[in-house]
């Protein structure tokens, strides 16, 4: 039996590149703008394949000179969720990049507290 793609080994650089290219194509097809801040917010989520709080994303954006006020991160993250490029994990008040953008699915998340 083959290992599920979500848990298999992969080329992380190619994974991020492919996800960003897919996000750009998706936004272009919908007439939505993947601005530099939105793109960078998605890159940040993709880098660790882990859920991150908006303030963690904001800290990274601020350190890179892309904005230091909370609305900057929240607007970018909400855009990504609206476009199906990220998911909000309510119980954690966190966001994670979508592993299957453009594919109909009902995501679920297992949250480990340890």
CATH code at position 85: 1.10.10.10
Residue 4 lies in a domain: no
Quote the CA–CA distance of 34 and 66 in Å, as a whole number.
14
Residue 112 lies in a domain: no
More confident residue, 4 or 50: 50
Residue 25 lies in a domain: yes
- Does residue 4 register a pLDDT over 60? no
Residue 80 lies in a domain: yes
| Cα 52-57-62 angle, rounded to 5 deg | 160
Domain count, the chain: 1
Quote the CA–CA distance of 32 and 35 in Å, as a whole number.
9
Residue 3 lies in a domain: no
pLDDT for the residue numbered 8:
62
**Residue 60's domain spans which residues?**
11-97
Residue 108 lies in a domain: no
- Does residue 52 register a pLDDT over 90? yes
């Amino acid at each position: 039996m083959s290992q599920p793609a979500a848990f298999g080994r992969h080329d992380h650089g190619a994974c991020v590149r492919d996800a960003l290219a897919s996000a750009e194509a998706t936004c272009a097809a919908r007439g939505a703008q993947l601005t530099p801040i939105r793109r960078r917010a998605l890159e940040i989520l993709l880098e660790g394949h882990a859920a991150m709080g908006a303030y963690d994303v904001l800290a990274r954006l601020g350190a890179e000179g892309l904005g230091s006020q909370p609305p900057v991160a929240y607007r970018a993250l909400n855009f990504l969720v609206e476009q199906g490029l990220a998911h909000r994990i309510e119980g954690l008040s966190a966001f994670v990049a979508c592993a299957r953008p453009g594919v109909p699915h009902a995501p679920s998340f297992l949250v480990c507290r340890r």
